Amino acid sequence: MHSTRHKHDQLNADLSIRHILKGAPQDLWLDTIRRAKYASHNTLISWMLSQPECDFAIAVHAFYRSNPAKHLDDPKPLPAHPEPDDIFSRVLIQWDIGFYRTHRLMVEDRDAPLRQIARLNQKVIARPRGSLPFQVPTRFLEPKGGTNISIPAHLSPTDVHKIWKKYADAGLDVPTAAPGLPRQIAQIKNRFLRRTERN
């Protein structure tokens, strides 16, 4: 019962986030995927990846969060219809049909850690050509270019109460205290506690 209610709540929270993202700049999309912490966010991420406007940087972030090197250890053919949790397959399938060709946003180390890129490159090179049941796009092995994100103030999940609340309800990584006075009070309390601990 609790599990069913939790899934229902998560679905509603996801739908609220989708509603915010529809029509929002891709900057907010990338910011949002960076705030996604749990496997329960995979449905939201899969939805983003399935949208034609999804920027390359978002796909790269999703791709590397799926631990792609692991998929090369035991390569399997991609499913025709990947489950929401199968981010790796979703990215590659969507790429194959022409998605993620818009690359406006910068891929940062937190999106595609250099260590992960190097590890994946090694595994790709070590494989005989054509031996994989899928292809890792070269651009995913060298995700360069793009500009830093710039989120309009009225869409900030950190500073706009209505958006912050929806992100918090969805379990996305936002400050625990609401924007405005509640956060200021929380910050003052934290400073006071830190001072007390030092003394």
Mean pLDDT split into 10-residue runs, the chain, 199 residues: 63 92 97 94 96 98 96 94 96 97 97 96 91 95 95 96 95 91 71 73
Which domain range does residue 93 map to?
A: 2-151
DSSP secondary structure letter of residue 98: T
Let me know if residue 69 belongs to a domain.
yes
Q: Within the chain, where are the H helices?
A: 2-21, 26-35, 42-49, 56-65, 68-73, 87-96, 114-126, 138-141, 161-169, 181-198
158 within some domain: no
Answer whether residue 49 is part of any domain: yes
What's the length of the chain?
199
* Number of domains into which the chain is organized: 1
pLDDT at 182: 67
pLDDT value of position 105 = 98
* Phi-psi map region of 173: left, alpha, beta (phi>0 left; psi -120 to 50 alpha): beta
Report if residue 81 sits inside a domain. Answer: yes
Residue 130 in any domain: the answer is yes
Question: pLDDT at position 186, please?
Answer: 67
Nearest alpha carbon to residue 95 among 59, 43, 142: 59
Confidence (pLDDT) at 165: 95
| Calpha distance 165→157 (Å, rounded) | 8
Orientation angle between helical segments 26-35 and 56-65, nearest 10 degrees:
10
Whether 146 is in a domain gets the answer yes
How confident is the model at residue 33, as a pLDDT? 98
- Residue 172, domain member (yes or no): no
Q: Does any domain span residue 43?
A: yes
- Within 13 Å and on the Cβ side, how many CA atoms surround 170? 30
Sign of the alpha-carbon torsion through 44, 83, 110, 137:
negative
